Amino acid sequence: MLGVTPKVTEKLDLVKPLTTYCEEYYGPEEAKNVTQFLSLANSLRAEVASPMSVDGAGFSGHVENLTRYLAVLNLLEQKFNFERQADKSPASSTVKGVKFQWSDSFKARSMGESPSIAYERACVLFNLAAAKSIKARDSDRSSPEGQKAAITEFQAAAGMFAMIKDNVLAQLVSGRTSADLSNEGLSLCASLMLAQAQALVYEKAVKDKLNRGLLSKLASQTGNYYHTAASFAGQLDAEMHCSWKGHCHYQEMAFLAAANLQAALNEKPRVLEKLEGFGPLIARLRYAKSLCDQADALASEYKLIRDVDALRKVIEQELAELEKDNNTVYLEVVPDKSSLSPLAMISLVKATPITVNSIIEPYAAEMKEYGQILDNLAPANVREKAQQYKSLLESQVVGPVDEAFSQMTELINDALAERGLPSAVQKQAADDGDAKDVEVPDSVWLNLEKARLTNSGAGPLGLKAQIDALDQMSQAAEHSITKCEDQLREEAQEDSRCHDRFGDRWNRTPSDQVPHSFFTQLQQYREKLNLANETNAKLRRKVDAIDAGVFDAVSKKTKEELEADLRSTSATPGQSRLAADPKIEAARIRCAEAVDYLQAELANVKEEVESSRQNALQENPTPSLLQRQEDLDAAVQELLAAHSNTSVLESIQSLQTRCLEPMIASFNEWNSAVVAKIGQAENSRQGKLHAWDSAATALITSSGEASEGVAFFSRLLDYLGQIDQQIGDYVFARTEEKNGMLRNLQGSYGAPHGQ
């Protein structure tokens, strides 16, 4: 059994050229984000360049490094251009100073080289396939498990060599490849792996003493696989040692000899039974013996180890016995071998289908983190447009939805609180001397508990602290915007001073004419910040407007303390008469159902708003923009159009006509009937319950609004951090350009006349 020799490569520093490419193409700050990934790529490349050990731990470790490096190459290809492109777009800039060199597996002194990452990938895949062939070759085939493992590995190696030939080879369009990565070389390797897998199947079948007819078919197919491998080796005579072709031809002859022997032994019982057919049987055995002779001749020619002696001995014994019987008894004519019927073939092996993605799947989770970092790696113009897209998304899509939903939520909650809902229409038990009136209804108590669980358990008291935190985040955002504006103004002022000083010799585009959208984006962010500040102030007023006593009751008092408070308050007269009036009870039920429907629909629309926001904000625009660098403005508009907010805005607005107005009408109907029955109750126990319930609802709503405010400011500060980085890159580049021009201009002042 043969294993394919792995290709060899020299160590290569990837960090410096890839970092330089990042700094020139993506910007210095962006390059810092991929330092860890580039270090990983470089260390894995160094491990891959180390000689492949054939012992257990070292071998497995090398295969693991090859596989991880393959996963890294997949990511590198997405963001690093290793080959010159035909167009003249910015993407035509290439990684400089990298040339991948690998030896030829068939002839170590022959080298292939290319700047192409596709070539590097092909070489890594080749070595992974070679590793499988070595693992199969070195398996302990003395046990059924070891033999099965070897068959599996040979088939996997065949699949990998075939995959390189069919899917990777076409990508190698530049550089100088070697014979092992030619169509013929890869076909040779794949065929040889299948031949050896089939040979092991035949070997196992012989041990298991299977039917000789099946054994003949298996051996015949094995010989055919070796014949295919030998034909490809013959096409590479000038590129590889002749022993490859010799070995394949030798094995072909040996297995064809075995196939003919097994066919003869399968036919022998029938011949002996019918006492006819000795001539063809002898002809097949003579042909089998001649194949052994050809194998021996090949062994001598190519200096191969002879291993057909045992096979020849069996053939000669069978042949001698049959020839003796035929010469003395049956006297049949022995036909020429050309008249023998062809042997049937059957293959019990095949190349295992495989893809690059399936190979690197074990490292998908590890590479996902790096992939997310690389997804955001983009040239300055793309990053600027990505930031512009996020700004427009916030102002045109997400912002209007959040504002509309906030207004609708406030409108609904105010309407409920004003009417003491939903507690006002909770079913009241028939009173027993108004004893039931001193119990806090479950619905009210649950609302109070919910209010106390807001703000991570800090409750209403924590809400005021959260509002203070919103003010602090607002100040941080204001500081960030001002800092960005100051950087741009200072750079523009310095540029203007240089223009005034050097006049026409300061021949670069003035800062106020450089095409960028920084000031526009900052203005949009400031407008959003002003709106957020107004919302914060309104939120603070809403919380401060809650009566101190009510706030204290909602925040701290136990259920028993609240009920004691109720006992000190006069009861609503005639409470028990309401439930006894069927018309009033029916109106109460209709109002309660309308309130439930309103709250359920508000919750549904809130989910729709959240889903819409997440879908919009989670999308990373950078990959799409990178593919549309020729028209980034159009790409931004297309991305925005994909997140239309029309549907969700309609859902928000429909709450008023579908739910709120019918609820108010139901309440008015019920309340009018109650007033007509028992009159208006002021400062009653029911009124106090309404006040607590309304305050709890207001606090719950305010807590939700505060949480949304924190989320908004977090996004805003993140966006401002990104634009701050972009402005820093822009100012740095302009400053470097300015310093270079100053050196040139000042140098010309001191140069001798005429120079």
Return the closest-CA partner of residue 669 out of 661, 683, 655: 661
Give 515-527 as a DSSP string.
---HHHHHHHHHH
* CATH code for the domain defined by 429-572+682-745: 1.20.140.50
8 A C-beta contact, residue 233 and residue 4:
no
What residue ranges do the domains of the chain occupy? 429-572+682-745
HEC letters along 385-425: HHHHHHHHHHHHHHHHHHHHHHHHHHHHHHHHHHCCCCHHH
pLDDT of residue 311: 95
Per-residue pLDDT reduced to its tens digit, 390-446: 888 888 899 899 889 988 998 998 888 778 787 777 765 444 444 555 777 777 788
Q: Residue 619: which region, alpha, beta or left (left: phi > 0; alpha: psi -120 to 50)?
A: beta
pLDDT of residue 682: 46
Q: Is pLDDT of 214 > 60? A: yes
- Distance in angstroms (rounded) separating the CA atoms of residues 48 and 3: 19
- pLDDT interval class at 92 (50, 70, 90): very low
Higher pLDDT, 734 or 570: 734
Is the pTM value of this prediction over 0.75?
no
Per-residue pLDDT reduced to its tens digit, 18-31: 999 888 888 888 88
Q: Is pLDDT of 339 > 70? A: yes
Tell whether omega for the bond before 269 is within 30 degrees of 0, i.e. cis. no
Pick the most confident of 170-184, 224-238, 498-512. 224-238
Query: What is the arithmetic mean of pLDDT over 704-710?
Result: 84
- Distance in angstroms (rounded) separating the CA atoms of residues 88 and 629: 12
8 A C-beta contact, residue 489 and residue 530:
no
Return the closest-CA partner of residue 4 out of 162, 129, 147: 129
- pLDDT interval class at 678 (50, 70, 90): low
Tokens standing for 205?
Answer: 């079948």
- pLDDT interval class at 753 (50, 70, 90): very low
Return the closest-CA partner of residue 346 out of 475, 444, 215: 215
pLDDT of residue 755: 35
Query: What is the arithmetic mean of pLDDT over 97-120?
Result: 91
Query: What is the arithmetic mean of pLDDT over 269-290?
Result: 93
- Distance in angstroms (rounded) separating the CA atoms of residues 696 and 223: 86
- Dihedral of CA atoms 330, 334, 339, 345 in degrees, nearest 10, equals 70
Distances (CA, A) of 251 to 51, 118, 147, 244, 247: 30, 35, 19, 11, 6
Higher pLDDT, 570 or 108: 108
8 A C-beta contact, residue 528 and residue 394:
yes
Q: Is pLDDT of 89 > 80? A: no
- Distance in angstroms (rounded) separating the CA atoms of residues 265 and 345: 16
Q: Is pLDDT of 622 > 80? A: yes
8 A C-beta contact, residue 660 and residue 598:
yes
pLDDT of residue 460: 64
What are residue 101's DSSP bridge partners?
113
pLDDT of residue 207: 93
Mean pLDDT, the chain, whole residue set: 86
Query: What is the arithmetic mean of pLDDT over 641-648?
Result: 90
**Where does residue 107 rank: exposed (0-12), middle (13-18), buried (19+ CB within 10 A)?**
middle
pLDDT of residue 35: 92
Query: What is the arithmetic mean of pLDDT over 531-549?
Result: 82
Q: Is pLDDT of 515 > 90? A: no
What are residue 102's DSSP bridge partners?
9, 112
Q: Is pLDDT of 90 > 60? A: no
Higher pLDDT, 753 or 554: 554
- DSSP alpha helix (H) spans, 175-275: 183-207, 212-234, 242-274
Per-residue pLDDT reduced to its tens digit, 319-329: 999 999 989 98
Per-residue pLDDT reduced to its tens digit, 157-205: 999 999 999 999 888 877 788 999 999 999 999 999 999 999 999 999 9
Counting residues of the chain whose pLDDT is more than 70, the rounded percentage is: 91
Q: Is pLDDT of 571 > 70? A: no
Q: Is pLDDT of 485 > 70? A: yes
8 A C-beta contact, residue 697 and residue 567:
no
